Amino acid sequence: MDNRDKLSTLARQIQICKKCPLYKEATKAVPGEGSSEAKIVFIGEGPGFYEDVQGKPFVGNAGKYLDFLLTKVGLKRDEVFITNVVKHRPPENRDPATAEVIACSAWLEQQLAIISPKIIVTLGRWSLARYAPRAKISDVHGKLFRTQGVAVLPMYHPAAALRSGQTQKQLEEDFLKNSDLFSNPEKTEELTKNTLENGQVSLPEGQGSLF
Ligand code: URA
């Protein structure tokens, strides 16, 4: 089976998942979509209203804004992979409960194992928490770090940017600042060595290391 088939098989399993109660009120599961050979994976929080209806990630307002950000740095949606921490919509877009995140994490784990990306871009605090549970997004946004054998680039959530002009400005700056990285994900280590000198933040003890 090639990666594409493996991801499709996984998506079919996700569509019938009952590991947590979220499936009960959801319309469709949203496994994620994009290239099975993606070098960059974007991880959001969970499906919202439109994602739940269509079964596709980031297709509502936040998704349109994410598309705009991707275009700004020369990325096409079909060359990356986009998914979420939880695959069914939490009712009324509430935060996912810890038990729901844990129940769903095996799916994300398997998706990442198949794709094996060079860079994981976390969108918002839920996906950041998976890699650096004690890091504050306001401290680490836009700054690549390495943990669990992978490069993680934390970004503010596009929906948060739509609610705050300041966050929007920061998110756009963070995307642009990392555009070389987005064009050359294979060169992650080489490119980030230089940025370390430009005043990087430190992660809390034991929460991965900056390049
Ligand atoms: N917000 C998310 O976190 N994920 C989506 O798929 C859509 C909106």
Q: Is 90 a pocket residue for ligand 1 (Cβ < 6 Å)?
A: no
For ligand 1, the distance from its centroid to the CA atom of residue 42, given in whole angstroms, is 10
Nearest-angstrom CA–CA distance, 94 and 158: 16
Q: Is 82 a pocket residue for ligand 1 (Cβ < 6 Å)?
A: no
For ligand 1, the distance from its centroid to the CA atom of residue 86, given in whole angstroms, is 9
What the chain holds in terms of domains, given with CATH numbers, is 3-16+30-202 (3.40.470.10)
Phi/psi for 210 (5° steps) reads -75, 155
76 class by beta-carbon count within 10 Å (0-12 exposed, 13-18 middle, 19+ buried): exposed
Q: 79-128, pLDDT tens digit by residue?
A: 999 999 999 999 999 999 999 999 999 999 999 999 999 999 999 999 99
Q: 165-188, pLDDT tens digit by residue?
A: 999 999 999 999 999 999 999 887
Residue 152 per-residue DSSP state? E
Q: Is 46 a pocket residue for ligand 1 (Cβ < 6 Å)?
A: yes
Q: 20-32, pLDDT tens digit by residue?
A: 999 999 999 999 9
Which residues have a Cβ under 8 Å from the Cβ of 54 and sit 6 or more positions away? 28
Q: 30-46, pLDDT tens digit by residue?
A: 999 999 999 999 999 99
Answer whether residue 189 shows pLDDT above 80. Answer: no
Nearest-angstrom CA–CA distance, 5 and 96: 29
Nearest to 211 by CA among 141, 128, 152, 160: 152
